[in-house]
Chain A
């Protein structure tokens, strides 16, 4: 309580307080001395004028008998404006302005923050479109990678992004949902908490570190596995050889991506599964269903739309993921191919931008910004779909 009393501009005169204490001993006011009461309650009397002086004692009637009179006096001063002493009126005006000024300022500041948010983030599309547009002109030359026109550049990359991300989610979604089910419904509480913490750690690791790891650890391992796969399962169309010797293929990129989005799938699914009412689960268990039957028949149908939304959000994240893919994948320009193991691979929009931007100039830059706009549109679509999925249930993702 002294925290804010320390910085006091004025000290009250102790003798006045004592005096008023006595004045109150008639029993009419037991709680506080008159001076104090005025000090605290009467908004019209500013106890601490800016000059740092206390109001003169003589300025107030001193011959009051009881608090009623005193209050009456205050009220009359307040209701009949003309009766009010000039000094009080000034204090009144200043105080009420002070209060209103504080409110207006505070409200204005926060409103400015809100408007800034809308304007700044809302102008993303505008600026991308403005700077990206020159690249879409029909006769554009000197595009990146000597592309004949902007669409010849856009479509294969768009395909690559969708293909890699879909593969990543196909790997990450079942495992992520499995982790969520396990940590909420099967694992003991403490193990579930630890699992959640581990997932959070996985989510916090920067993507450039994943790229480094994918390149150093995963790719060499993958190269050996791919050679084996191509030899033994080469008859499956997408697994046909010759397998890449470096392991820097679409499948490796998808593996790294799946590790990266796994935490997102797991944590979002966890939230949704937690929301399944326990009376439904208990109802099923009480009917003799096993734990897995409960999951299959009660939990999954209940959580389906939420989990799907989580997977869509993770897909959006995977589509925009840049550095890990840029480091792991070695792309072949303009290639559209479903082959997973070969050394010729399609690139992705985001990684193409990162790989080419530092050396780009002129129209190349515009083309890369155009690709950014395309990527934005794609992720926006996917994220909106995810949010549309959860909205009917009144939840926001």
Chain B
């Protein structure tokens, strides 16, 4: 599907450089895991991919991110349009509290000013919730508030919301870090299902999770606090975990730092 290609991407918060010169090829219909110690800029890098980084005051990005040949970071590119092609799931589930479960799923459609007939709307809701493995649990309470769901269910609702608008790429920022093991397993299973249709990029602190679900893994690191994060190594997950080429990667995976 969608080929994502990062070319010398650097991200800044004011004068502070958080990410330096990351070039990365992300294969379509695969899961790429971004791993690395805290503060190495993985989440920042992820947020540049749908131009959410620039919504922080003072933040800016240099470099290029090509999505099927189009430069996402080009100032002429409408960020709103980028974000409708690149969906995102956040660390903490953030269903809109004023909307019901069904409305949450349709939020992306509505927020873009589209209208759907009740019938189509129902279909979108059902398809998205099914795809997020949430349909069985919520089909009888679609009109209830999404805040009443459990943490794992809320996160799956957010995934359903993101895929209801049919993005090409799905970004996940530590989607399981606030969840219990059972919910984590459910989300991981879902991620594997999703890769059939989407290019998934997931930031995770959980190395076992990266090893379980991802096809490719990119390891980022930072020399010391105040320095920008850099891409150290990138490759197929099995290779990176079993035979890393860089010593730093091996050390991190072995738990020597981070």
Contact = CB atoms under 8 A, between A and B. Distances in A.
Interface of A: 1-12, 14, 17, 29-32, 36-37, 39-41, 43, 47-48, 67-68, 71-72, 75, 78-79, 96, 98-99, 102
Interface stretch (B5-13, B115-123, B207-215, B224-232): B115-123
B1 A68 contact: yes
Contact of B69 (A3, A40, A48, A75): A75
Given A40-B164, A67-B1, A12 B103 contact: no
A328 B78 CA distance: 65
A9 B120 CA distance: 13
A7 B110 CA distance: 12
B85 interface: yes
Contacts of A78: 70
Interface of B: 1-2, 68-70, 78, 80-81, 84-85, 100, 102-103, 105-106, 108-110, 112-125, 127-128, 131, 142-143, 163-168, 196-197
Contacts of B197: 29-31, 67
Closest 5 CB pairs of A and B: A1-B102, A41-B166, A37-B166, A5-B121, A11-B117
Nearest to A68: B1
A183 B84 CA distance: 52
B84 to A, nearest CB: 6
Contacts of B105: 1
B85 A99 contact: no
B117 A71 contact: no
B114 A71 contact: no
Contacts of A41: 84-85, 165-168
A7 B115 contact: yes
A12 B120 contact: yes
A38 to B, nearest CB: 8
B103 A3 contact: yes
Given A31-B163, A99-B78, 9 more contacts: A1-B106, A1-B122, A2-B118, A4-B103, A4-B115, A12-B116, A36-B123, A67-B1, A75-B70
Contacts of B120: 5, 12, 17, 36
Given A1-B142, A1-B143, A30 B196 contact: yes
B84 A79 contact: no
Given A7-B115, A14-B119, A17-B123, A31 B131 contact: yes
A3 B110 CA distance: 11
A36 B165 CA distance: 9
Given A31-B197, A75-B70, A48 B84 contact: no
A14 B164 CA distance: 19
